[in-house]
């Protein structure tokens, strides 16, 4: 109803005496275009250009204006289709993403004040603009999903797609490695944890005695990024924080300091800076347990014994991983390492995807070889000890259907969807009321059916 009302008001304005610039077919100054029931305001286009300029875009202004105008027109075609198909997206659908975008923007700028100064807008206006963009992106995505839901790539179509590349211009796939690991944590790690807790207790006592949390965070926190800003991590919703950290943070009152909180990253003390609805801004000091030289020696000896037993075939690597490894994700798979990203559980890695210690060990190994024990860090940046087995290597090569079927399938699917969307847009242009301000008539893309 709001969209219909806005459209009706726009049309009424076009017939009010005094708002015509030239004749009855010319749009009022503040409107750049009308697409069906959707309106593109000149101020929105100008704001987008200004934001891109602030972010370093040096494209000539005429070219940038036409490029953004084309993007906005296409987006409005999808938005108009969403109205026809009764596709609605609620504010709740983008609230989490909105909060993350706001937090990222504040962290990048350094503070809310710096963000306001940078954009020359209030926080309310910045949040409103980001929310509007996210809602539109969500709606466009819903329409595109509906249009492309039945698109698949047959084996013959994939082969045709692959053969369309000149053989000397096929993309080169970097070498990939399949690995298995056995990991053990430092022995007697509870002692290390107790030491970390005690260090934090001493720091907390200093804060309660009047010393600056910010200064002590800079001096002692092992979260090196937040330490630069006195431990401050910016506004976060509960879902962005580790549960123990979130539980403590949301239970605090302003400027109070938590008791010691243990998370998978180590031990924290937390101070609440501010709370806005479902978001909290906190600062923290992180201390991780430290491994003592004797503990390192014992861990290395244990892994060395295991490696020798495996090499002598006294125990299978897979069985040793199940029995002794503390790496939960790989242990259940007999030590096979997979990506920690839940949306991409791949078991092949490039060297660049491994941490430095793993990189050094793997790069010169042969398939089937087991490394000597070494100290490294896990996904939580905690010190651990590992041996690694090189299960297989896929050498760097030009992409081919046998080794890179899924990657080529995904690329073909992206291309096919783009072509389907392009055909849909051309058809939609032909059946949709479109009016574009004369000041954009010099944009070349408008020759492709936009002008009627």
Domain membership of residue 171 (yes or no) is no
Helix (H, G, I), strand (E, B) or coil at 378: coil
Dist CA 271 CA 280 (whole Å): 10
Residue 385, C-beta contacts closer than 8 angstroms, at least 6 positions apart: 183, 184, 185, 186, 296, 299, 300, 303, 373, 374, 375, 376
pLDDT at 33 over 70: yes
pLDDT exceeding 70 applies to what percent of the chain? 92
Q: Kindly state whether residues 141 and 275 are assigned to the same domain.
A: no
Domain membership of residue 404 (yes or no) is no
Where among 287, 307, 326 does a domain terminate?
287
Domain membership of residue 162 (yes or no) is no
Q: Kindly state whether residues 195 and 146 are assigned to the same domain.
A: no
pLDDT at 277 over 80: no
At 112 the pLDDT is 81
At 341 the pLDDT is 60
Q: Using only the alpha carbons of the chain, give its radius of gyration.
A: 29
Dist CA 432 CA 79 (whole Å): 12
CATH number, domain at 426?
1.10.4030.10
Give the residue, 350 or 105, on which the prediction is more confident.
350
Banded pLDDT at 256 (limits 50, 70, 90): very high
pLDDT exceeding 90 applies to what percent of the chain? 67
At 251 the pLDDT is 95
Least confident of 78-87, 106-115, 135-144, 431-440: 106-115
Dist CA 184 CA 372 (whole Å): 14
Domain membership of residue 373 (yes or no) is yes
Q: Kindly state whether residues 36 and 140 are assigned to the same domain.
A: yes
Banded pLDDT at 10 (limits 50, 70, 90): very low
pLDDT digits 0-9 by tens, 409-448: 999 999 999 999 999 999 999 999 999 999 998 999 999 8
- Residue 80 domain boundaries: 2-151+417-447
Domain membership of residue 409 (yes or no) is no
Q: Kindly state whether residues 13 and 117 are assigned to the same domain.
A: yes
Dist CA 133 CA 101 (whole Å): 11
Banded pLDDT at 234 (limits 50, 70, 90): confident
Where among 287, 303, 321 does a domain terminate?
287
pLDDT at 276 over 90: no
Q: Kindly state whether residues 256 and 195 are assigned to the same domain.
A: yes
At 4 the pLDDT is 39
At 340 the pLDDT is 67
At 195 the pLDDT is 94
Q: Kindly state whether residues 282 and 307 are assigned to the same domain.
A: no
Q: Kindly state whether residues 421 and 388 are assigned to the same domain.
A: no
CATH number, domain at 384?
3.10.50.40
Evaluate whether 27 touches 423 at the Cβ level (below 8 Å): no
How many other CB atoms are found less than 10 A from the CB of residue 212?
12
Q: Kindly state whether residues 118 and 143 are assigned to the same domain.
A: yes
Where among 238, 270, 287 does a domain terminate?
287
pLDDT digits 0-9 by tens, 365-396: 999 999 999 999 988 888 999 999 999 999 99
Number of domains in the chain: 3
Dist CA 274 CA 250 (whole Å): 10
CA 26 to chain centre: 43
At 92 the pLDDT is 82
Number of H helices, E strands in the chain: 16, 12
Domain membership of residue 166 (yes or no) is no
> Quick one: which of 302, 295, 289, 294 has its CA closest to 187?
295
Banded pLDDT at 345 (limits 50, 70, 90): low
Domain membership of residue 201 (yes or no) is yes
Banded pLDDT at 55 (limits 50, 70, 90): confident
Q: Kindly state whether residues 248 and 346 are assigned to the same domain.
A: no
Q: Kindly state whether residues 390 and 438 are assigned to the same domain.
A: no
Domain membership of residue 240 (yes or no) is yes
At 332 the pLDDT is 92
pTM of the model: 0.65
**Which residues are bridge partners to 394 per DSSP?**
176
Q: Kindly state whether residues 147 and 219 are assigned to the same domain.
A: no
Q: Kindly state whether residues 93 and 119 are assigned to the same domain.
A: yes
């Amino acid at each position: 109803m709001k969209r219909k009302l806005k459209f009706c008001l726009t049309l009424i304005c076009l017939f009010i005496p005094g708002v015509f610039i030239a004749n009855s077919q010319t749009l009022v100054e503040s409107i750049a275009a009308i697409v069906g029931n959707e309106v593109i305001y000149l101020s929105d286009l100008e704001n987008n250009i200004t934001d891109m300029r602030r972010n370093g875009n040096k494209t000539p202004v005429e070219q940038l204006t036409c490029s953004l105008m084309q993007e906005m027109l296409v987006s409005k075609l999808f938005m108009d289709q969403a109205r026809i198909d009764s596709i609605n997206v609620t504010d709740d659908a983008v609230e989490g993403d909105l909060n993350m975008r706001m937090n990222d923007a504040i962290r990048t700028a350094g503070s809310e004040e710096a963000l306001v100064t940078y954009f020359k807008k209030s926080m309310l206006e910045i949040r409103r603009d980001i929310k509007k963009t996210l809602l539109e992106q969500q709606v466009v995505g819903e329409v595109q999903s509906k249009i492309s839901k039945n698109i698949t790539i047959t084996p013959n179509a994939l082969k045709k797609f692959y053969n369309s590349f000149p053989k000397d211009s096929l993309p080169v796939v970097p070498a990939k490695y399949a690995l298995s690991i056995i990991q053990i944590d430092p022995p007697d790690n509870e002692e290390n944890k107790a030491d970390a807790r005690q260090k934090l207790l001493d720091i907390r006592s200093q804060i309660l005695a009047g010393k600056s949390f910010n200064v002590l965070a800079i001096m002692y926190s092992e979260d090196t990024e937040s330490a630069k800003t006195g431990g401050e991590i910016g506004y976060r919703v509960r879902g962005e924080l580790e549960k123990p950290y979130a539980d403590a943070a949301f239970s605090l009152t302003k400027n109070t300091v938590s008791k010691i909180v243990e998370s998978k990253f180590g031990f924290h003390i937390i101070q609440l800076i501010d709370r806005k609805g479902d978001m909290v801004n906190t600062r923290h000091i992180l201390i991780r347990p430290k491994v003592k030289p004797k503990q390192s020696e014992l861990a290395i000896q244990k892994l060395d014994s295991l490696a020798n037993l495996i090499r002598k075939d006294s125990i299978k690597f897979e069985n040793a991983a199940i029995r002794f490894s503390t790496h939960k994700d790989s242990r259940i798979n007999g030590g096979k390492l997979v990506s920690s990203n839940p949306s991409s559980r791949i078991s092949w890695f490039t060297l660049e995807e491994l941490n430095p210690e793993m990189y050094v060990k793997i790069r010169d190994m042969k398939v089937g070889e087991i490394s000597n024990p070494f100290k490294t860090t896990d996904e939580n940046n905690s010190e651990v000890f590992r041996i690694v087995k090189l299960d297989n290597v896929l050498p760097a090569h030009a992409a081919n259907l046998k080794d890179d079927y899924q990657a080529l399938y995904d690329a073909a699917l992206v291309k096919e969807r783009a072509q389907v969307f392009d055909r849909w847009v051309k058809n939609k242009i032909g059946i949709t009321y479109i009016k574009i301000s004369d000041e954009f008539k010099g944009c070349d893309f408008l020759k492709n059916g936009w002008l009627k």
